[in-house]
Structure 1
């Protein structure tokens, strides 16, 4: 007859070793408890497989609570260190074969996980890092689920996305504002055209597509102004954005091609705004005026406000009167999903916008990044 215990405790390698370590470390923030638990795991090499299996379970539990790979990666990168990020990436990849099909956005997040394994140090340090990561995973709250809807049409064709990315990359790289404006305008034109084409196809289909949702990181610093910029881009592209300040992301709800447009354009405009802000600060310093965090916050707030106005104006010129009922139907569907996902939302007042020079510089930079209009699509 076999036994799972000895006079000194659990047999090395049995789940009991892991249970005792987890009970000691995962439900408290005490460093002493973490050290004791790491010592238990470090002393028992046979427990490694069970520790890794439990980690896959924690990852699967995070998915059931509405988290996605990019969300957890973003949080671990902010709260912990690079070693934890690499441990997390390995766990996510190990869990993926046991997971259900999730859709193209999920697959893209898996493909973007850091590829390098965590450097293996001594067993105690490794166990400590694992326990710190598991503490975070265990305490993740429930988020709104973002399951990708089944759609008739693929999102923007790879060829079109490639063209849009190329245009925005050039806009980010050029040192000439007029060229950046023209390139960004052309990218928005392609986005708007594809969005309208998809709306028309959907209106003619026996079964309409449903709106989806994605999360886009809104990282410090100046996250309020960045959230305003993302909201402006989302609104101009027939989407809605809801900001989660605590976890540094916004949930954007909309139809597939529009979500693609929001992700691409927001990322590009943020790069362009940061570049313009850096130049504006340099000019201010050259003039003998010291710039502060308030200048940067005011700059980005003005940039977001002005770009939002111009994006909305440009979006209105893309659609003729005959297409308004089609887009109105889609906007109702988007609003309905937002209301179901977020039955309670609050409005946040933008703080720290008190620097006049920063506001003026930001507004002027937005003017240089404006999106030109084109003839209505019919």
Structure 2
């Protein structure tokens, strides 16, 4: 007789049909099934964490390829993995992602974890076993990723310098005001001041780090959510280029990897998130009516809006960065430093992604959306 462990392995390996396996698991004793499903899920997540996957990335990819129930099971498995490590053994960035997902151990013994989920979330047991198998299938197909944040139990990267944290706090405050105001002129003023702070700080950091072998580029993965992912990724690329970073977009996983120096990557992350909020607000204000008849027109408008917004944002941020460089008191010394840093960033990207494909250009299907997006970009960012 086939054991539950062999049955689950057969379903995941393709030797047993999915529906047949699900039927057999639902009629098997819970005392036999629950420990196997729990161990399989927790072990799969622990393996992927060791292979470079971060909490937010695992949750996102399972939600994209599976559903919300499967994604929540993965969050529980992240909490189970985290409980085995002392606080000092967990990188703060890794822990922050887990906490943002709400990863916390709420159950008792692991052996009957599925039964506790049924009671705690008031779900159907058959649907839950289906969710376990679905999540396991998604996790089984994920490849290793570059290790960007040390997983629990490994040495953490040094924290940001105090000056960088102070700058980021001021930028967050300005961008929060830009997102909150309903007046375009105010949003522009706040965003302009934020970019001014970012550019000046970045140039100062470049000079301070010149010649220091310990100051090297690193990478951060930034999630891009449905819908219009490619258009949103183009906005991230525009912001990154203006701040001396490079981006590799991985649509199959729903994230982009940003390569650059510490302060620059922080700036890209903050600016992209804020500009996306402002873009959605402006797009909702300007878009044509939807409904069944106008659905295709509305989709074309939104795609064209985001493309126009990204292009104009890139132009204006680049203008602001050039202005900051021109205002620098030590431009002659800065130019070779910036050229060297650009080379280092490109080499870091090529090491991580030796084979990349240049993305296809976008087709603008709505002139109305394109012009509206560029107008919104003029209002959202600096001169």
Q: How far off is 1:80 after superposition? A: 2.5
Q: 1:146 to 1:289 in 2, by over 3 A?
A: closer
Q: 1:331 to 1:351 in 2, by over 3 A?
A: closer
1:195 equivalenced with 2:202 (yes/no)? yes
Find the counterpart in structure 1 of residue 378 from structure 2.
Answer: 367
Distance 1:22 1:273 in 2: 45
Distance 1:184 1:240 in 2: 22
Find the counterpart in structure 2 of residue 3 from structure 1.
Answer: none
Q: How far off is 1:156 after superposition? A: 6.3
Q: How far off is 1:89 after superposition? A: 0.8
Q: Which is worse superposed, 181-190 or 299-308?
A: 181-190
What RMSD, in angstroms, separates the aligned Cα atoms of the two structures?
2.9
Find the counterpart in structure 1 of residue 347 from structure 2.
Answer: 336
Find the counterpart in structure 2 of residue 176 from structure 1.
Answer: 183
Q: 1:291 to 1:170 in 2, by over 3 A?
A: farther
Q: What are the Cα deviations for residues 278-321 of structure 1, in whole angstroms up to 9, with x where unaligned?
A: 11115999xx9994311111111111001101111111222231
* Conserved 8 A contact 1:55-1:91: yes
Q: Which is worse superposed, 154-163 or 195-204?
A: 154-163
Distance 1:252 1:32 in 2: 41
* Conserved 8 A contact 2:192-2:381: yes
Counterparts in 2 of 1:107-126, with a 5 A limit? 107-115=95-103, 119-126=121-128
Distance 1:130 1:250 in 2: 28
Corresponding residue SS for 1:292: helix
Which stretches in structure 1 are left out of the alignment for 5+ residues? 1-8, 11-15, 373-378
Counterparts in 2 of 1:303-314, with a 5 A limit? 303-314=309-320
Q: 1:53 to 1:365 in 2, by over 3 A?
A: same
Matched residue count = 354
Counterparts in 2 of 1:115-194, with a 5 A limit? 115=103, 119-147=121-149, 150-151=157-158, 153-154=160-161, 157-194=164-201
Counterparts in 2 of 1:233-252, with a 5 A limit? 233-252=239-258
Q: Which is worse superposed, 322-331 or 291-300?
A: 322-331
Q: 1:172 to 1:153 in 2, by over 3 A?
A: closer
Distance 2:273 2:81 in 1: 30
Q: How far off is 1:102 after superposition? A: 6.0
* Conserved 8 A contact 1:294-1:352: no
Which stretches in structure 2 are left out of the alignment for 5+ residues? 107-116, 151-155
Q: What are the Cα deviations for residues 136-172 of structure 1, in whole angstroms up to 9, with x where unaligned?
A: 1111123333246845853864443333222212211
Distance 2:222 2:232 in 1: 11
* Conserved 8 A contact 1:199-1:326: yes
Q: 1:125 to 1:370 in 2, by over 3 A?
A: closer
- Could you tell me the TM-score, scaled by structure 1's length? 0.84
Counterparts in 2 of 1:260-339, with a 5 A limit? 260-282=266-288, 291-319=297-325, 320=328, 321=331, 322-339=333-350
- Could you tell me the TM-score, scaled by structure 2's length? 0.83
Q: 1:228 to 1:156 in 2, by over 3 A?
A: farther
Distance 2:160 2:53 in 1: 25
* Conserved 8 A contact 2:316-2:382: yes
* Conserved 8 A contact 2:192-2:382: yes
Distance 2:40 2:301 in 1: 47
Counterparts in 2 of 1:48-87, with a 5 A limit? 48-87=34-73
Q: What are the Cα deviations for residues 89-111 of structure 1, in whole angstroms up to 9, with x where unaligned?
A: 11011112457956343232122
1:35 to 2, 22, 32: 22
Q: What are the Cα deviations for residues 199-242 of structure 1, in whole angstroms up to 9, with x where unaligned?
A: 2332264x422211111122232222211110011111121101
Q: How far off is 1:47 after superposition? A: 4.8
